[in-house]
Amino acid sequence: MRFLKLIVVAMAAATTLPAFGEDYPSRPIRIIVSTSAGGITDLAARIVGKLITEKTGQTVIIDNRAGGGGNIAMEAVARSAPDGYTFGVANTGNIVINPFLYKHMSYNPLTELTPVGSVGTVPLSMVINGSLPVHSLKEFVEWAKARPGKVNYGSAGVGTTPHLAADAFNRRAKLDMVHVPYRGSTPATMAVLTGEVPMTFVSIGQHKQLVAEGKLRVLGVANEKRVPYLADVPTFEEQGYPGFFAGTWFAVFAPSGTPHDIVDKINGYVRDLPNEPATRKVLDAAFLDPMPMTASQFAAQVKKDAAHWQQIVRDSGVQQ
C-alpha cells in the first residue's frame, strides 16, 4: 500500500511540472518588454515573437511595461511561473547595470532571470557637432583639456549607457567635462546638433544621414571592431583606449527555473533570426549586429558584462 501511495504522489507531482515535448508550446506565449512600444528593445521583442509564431503556430502576446529603468517589466518576468510561457526582452542596462545603479531593487536580475539569447547588439559612438574644429579623438581631448570645466557633454539621462560611457571616457582621458542629462538619446543628439552641447555618446545608426551631411561627426566607436556602416571610423581601442567598450544588447530572458529544454528551444529560434532573410533585413535596418550564442554562451557574456559595468558604475559614483 505504501508503495502504491508513493507512485500516486510521484504521478501527481509530475503533472505539476512544466510539460515539454513535441506539444510545447501548446498555448500562447507572453513576452514582457522593458520599454514602451517603439524603439529597438520593443522591435527585438516583436522580431522574436513573430518568429516563434511562425515556427510553432502559437500566438505571442507582446506586453510593454515601461518604467523604473526596466525594473518593473523584468521583475514581472522574474515573478512569473517558470513554465516556458512567459519571457522578457530587455537591454543591457536593465540587466547588468541596474543592480549596481539602484540602491534598492526588489529583485536581482542576475540571479532571478535566466539568459536565453541575444537578438543583437549596437555599439555606442562618440559624436560631436560637425562645426567643431576637431576631427579626431586626439584633437577632441586636446581641445577639451584646453577648456577645463567649460566643455559639456549630453547624455540620454543619469545612469544610462551613454552617460556612463561618456563619464568613463571623461576619467580615462583625464578631462574635466560637465554632464548635461536629457530625456533620452534623441534630445541629447538634438542638443549636439544645435550646439547646446558639443558631444554625446549615441547609437549612430538612426543618425547616419546627419553624419553623411556633415552635421554630426563621429570620432570613435566603442566596440571591439569597426562597424561596416562606419568603416572609416576607428574604435577607441585603435586610438589608444584599450578595453573601452560600450554598447547595448537586446536579449530574451526567462524566469529562473525555466526548464533547460525550453530555454534551449527558444534560444534556437533567437539564433536563427539572422538566417531568416526578412528578419535580417529588419535587423540591418535597425543597425543591430546579430549576436548568435547558445544559452550558456550568452549567460557567460551576461556575467562578463555585469563585471564590466559594475566597475564603470562604481567608478562613476552614480546611484539612483
Domain-wise residue ranges, the chain: 2-122+249-316, 125-239
**Is-contact 8 80, C-beta < 8 A?**
no
Determine the average pLDDT of the residues in 59-79.
Answer: 96
The verdict on domain 125-239 having CATH code 3.40.190.10 is: yes
Residue 234 — very low, low, confident or very high, per pLDDT cuts 50/70/90? very high
Same fold, 2-122+249-316 and 125-239: yes
Q: Tens digit of pLDDT for each residue in 70-119?
A: 999 999 999 999 999 999 999 999 999 999 999 999 999 999 999 999 99
- Residue carrying C-alpha cell 534560444: 267
Q: Give the predicted TM-score (pTM) of the model.
A: 0.86
Q: Phi, psi at residue 316, to the nearest 5°?
A: -75, -30
pLDDT of residue 22: 65
Q: Tens digit of pLDDT for each residue in 255-291?
A: 999 999 999 999 999 999 999 999 999 999 889 999 9
Determine the average pLDDT of the residues in 127-148.
Answer: 97
- What is the distance between the alpha carbons of residues 163 and 182, in angstroms, rounded to a whole number? 10
Long-range Cβ contacts of 16-25 (<8 Å, 24+ apart): 18/81, 18/82, 18/83, 18/84, 18/258, 18/259, 18/262, 20/84, 20/259, 20/261, 20/262, 24/84, 24/262, 24/265, 25/52, 25/56, 25/58, 25/84, 25/85
- Fold classification of 2-122+249-316 (topology level): D-Maltodextrin-Binding Protein; domain 2 (3.40.190)
Looking at per-residue pLDDT, the higher value among 190 and 7 belongs to: 190
Helices (H) and strands (E) in the chain, counts: 13, 11
Q: Tens digit of pLDDT for each residue in 150-167?
A: 999 999 999 999 999 999
